[in-house]
Amino acid sequence: QVTLVESGGGLVQAGDSLRLSCATSGRILSSHVMGWFRQAPGKEREFVAAISRSGASTYFADAVKGRFTISRDNAKNTGYLQMNSLTPEDTAVYYCATVASLRILTLPVDYDYWGQGTQVTVSS
């Protein structure tokens, strides 16, 4: 059984930064693509960013491109989402997810394992 636990969310002001972490169980991370998604109240879950198994490739949603970075440390079984220049539109529950895949995927339905989510609230 694979478990993912997100941490690092909180309440910040517009323009601030946050770094989310996603700790995974076992040693599965090196064989899994990791993605970050978010869901705001009343909205569908949307793709934010993803990183390949080795970390060599990344992909971002247009809404966060240039502000967010994604990284991973397979030795620590942990992934990260660095969020800079936050705006109120970034307010959502953020989820990390993984899937055993050779390529980056961007649809929630493509991911097999999910964390419980961490709340990010950005005030104006």
- Nearest-CA neighbor of 111 among 36, 60, 19? 36
pLDDT of residue 38 exceeding 70, the answer is yes
Residues 119 and 8 sit within 8 Å (Cβ to Cβ): no
What is the reported pLDDT for 18? 98
Average pLDDT across the chain, whole number: 95
Residue 2 — pLDDT band, cuts 50, 70, 90? confident
What is the reported pLDDT for 30? 80
Residues 82 and 73 sit within 8 Å (Cβ to Cβ): no
Q: What is the mean pLDDT of residues 66-82?
A: 96
